[in-house]
Chains A and B, each alone.
Chain A
Amino acid sequence: NAGVTQTPKFQVLKTGQSMTLQCAQDMNHNSMYWYRQDPGMGLRLIYYSASEGTTDKGEVPNGYNVSRLNKREFSLRLESAAPSQTSVYFCASKRFAGQASNQPQHFGDGTRLSIL
């Protein structure tokens, strides 16, 4: 069972470069999420998509854009990477639409991004 698949697993960028992180889920989930994980800070929500065709900002959206390409795929784009965006990025999905729904999120294995 693939679950949530993220690509790439690792990436090094130079300041100012752009990059798109890919995420796909095969569980027929409606909602998808992007988080970043930094030491000592847990996971912080960047953007989410309650359903295909909708996206909303999370806690730390600045410097990022997202695209919900279809029900399966949700991409995260850094238009002009900055060192402060060095982090581990996790994609997650959940069956029912909307954050208020009492369903657990399922996570991918993460993308480790370093920006020099």
Chain B
Amino acid sequence: GQQLNQSPQSMFIQEGEDVSMNCTSSSIFNTWLWYKQDPGEGPVLLIALYKAGELTSNGRLTAQFGITRKDSFLNISASIPSDVGIYFCAGQPVAQKLVFGQGTRLTINP
């Protein structure tokens, strides 16, 4: 099946640091989504990207749809304790089902 590689798998950072994570695919996608999952809850949509090259911000979060349509990244600036959680990318190949990355677990030391 479709493969999405998300990295890193986990991050341990200090409060206030910036965070960067990315997803890559061997296939072309026409949608990239970034979700955050808190413990005991379902994924919540952070940012949706629908066009190659698109750069979208949501507060301290910024995500980009790669020009090649095979990758996307998510940046978090000036991390705070509530940023802790698991971040998932999800991509949709042309006319196919949504595919999820394995997740990036973010831990923040105060």
Q: Do A and B come from one complex?
A: yes
Given contacts A42-B102, A43-B88, A102-B30, whether A48 and B43 have CB atoms under 8 Å apart is: no
* Chain A hits for B35, CB < 8 A: 107
Within 8 A of A (CB), among B25-66: 30-31, 33, 35, 40-45, 48, 50
Number of interface residues of A (CB under 8 A): 23
Complex: A65 Cα to B18 Cα, angstroms: 44
Asked if A24 is at the interface (CB within 8 A of a chain B CB), the reply is no
Number of interface residues of B (CB under 8 A): 28
* Chain A hits for B44, CB < 8 A: 107
A-side interface residues toward B, CB under 8 Å?
A: 4, 35, 40-45, 48, 58-59, 90, 92, 99-100, 102, 104-110
Q: What are 30 residue pairs bridging A and B, where the CB atoms are less than 8 Å apart in the complex? A: A4-B42, A35-B100, A40-B103, A41-B102, A42-B100, A42-B101, A42-B102, A42-B103, A43-B43, A43-B88, A43-B100, A44-B100, A48-B97, A58-B97, A59-B1, A90-B42, A90-B43, A99-B92, A100-B94, A100-B95, A102-B31, A104-B45, A104-B48, A107-B35, A107-B42, A107-B44, A109-B40, A109-B41, A110-B40, A110-B41
